Amino acid sequence: MPVKLTGDELKYIALLGDITSITARDCVVDDETNTIIFIVPPGTAGVVVGFKGRNVKQLTKILGRRVEIVEWAENLEDFVKNLFLPARVVSVRLNKLKDGKKVLMVKVVPEDRGVAIGKNGKNVAKARKILNRYYEIDSVSVS
């Protein structure tokens, strides 16, 4: 499903490119958490973050928002693993309900469950927002 970018998202992607020389694949603005999430090409997250997080810190200062970096992956399972880092994902299962809704079941290592869910479920909400954008997934459940 094609993703449409707003003018602000395009500006944020250009800024990331100016700072890191990496062109993000996508940019998701989450106003609820005051966060900008950049989806970057596979293998580039380290360069984008920068030494000791220098690039992310600079972007945070310029934009006045939290900045998160997620590496893109061509298949759903690998992309979900990247979304939930540093939690260790054991399995990913996509279920289609009778009403047509898609529910993603993500199983993580038990001691990483809190990290995967995040404070007040913010990591699950982030994953749901991004996965809905690419895969039309309606709900994400972590166990």
Write out the residue range of the structural domain in which residue 103 sits.
76-142
Indicate if 48 and 25 belong to the same structural domain: yes
If pLDDT is split at 50, 70 and 90, which confidence band does 3 have? confident
**Is residue 42 a part of any domain in this protein?**
yes
Query: What's the pLDDT score for residue 36?
Result: 96
Residues 42, 96: one domain?
no
Residue 2: predicted pLDDT: 65
C-alpha neighbours within 13 Å on the C-beta side of residue 74: 0
Last residue of a domain, one of 46, 71, 96: 71
pLDDT grade, residue 9 (50/70/90)? very high
Whether 20 and 55 have beta carbons less than 8 Å apart is answered as yes
Residue 52 exposure: Cα atoms within 13 Å on the Cβ side:
0
Over residues 128-139, the pLDDT tens digits come to 999 999 999 999
Q: Are residues 86 and 55 in the same domain?
A: no
Looking at the structure, do residues 112 and 133 belong to the same domain, yes or no? yes
Tell whether 62 is covered by a domain.
yes
| 80 and 53 belong to one structural domain | no
Domain assignment present for 122? yes
Is this structure's pTM higher than 0.85? yes
Is residue 1 a part of any domain in this protein?
no
Q: Is 88 helix (H, G, I), strand (E, B) or coil?
A: coil
CATH number at residue 90: 3.30.300.20
pLDDT digits (tens, 9 = 90+) for 21-62: 999 999 999 988 899 999 999 999 999 999 999 999 999 999
- Which residues are within 8 A (CB) of 23 and not within 5 positions of it... i.e. 6 or more apart? 13, 16, 17, 41
Q: Determine the 3-state secondary structure of 93 from DSSP.
A: strand
Number of domains in the chain: 2
Counting residues of the chain whose pLDDT is more than 70, the rounded percentage is 99
**Burial profile 29-68: b = 16 or more Cβ within 10 angstroms, e = fewer:** ebeebebbbbbbeeebbeebbbeeeebbeebeeebebebb
Q: Where are the beta strands (DSSP E) in 19-80?
A: 26-30, 35-40, 66-71
Please compute the mean of the pLDDT values over residues 65-84 and round it to a whole number: 95
Q: Are 4 and 19 in contact (CB under 8 A)?
A: no
Q: How confident is the model at residue 127 (pLDDT cuts 50, 70, 90)?
A: very high
Which residues does 52 contact at the CB level (< 8 Å), separation at least 6?
Answer: none
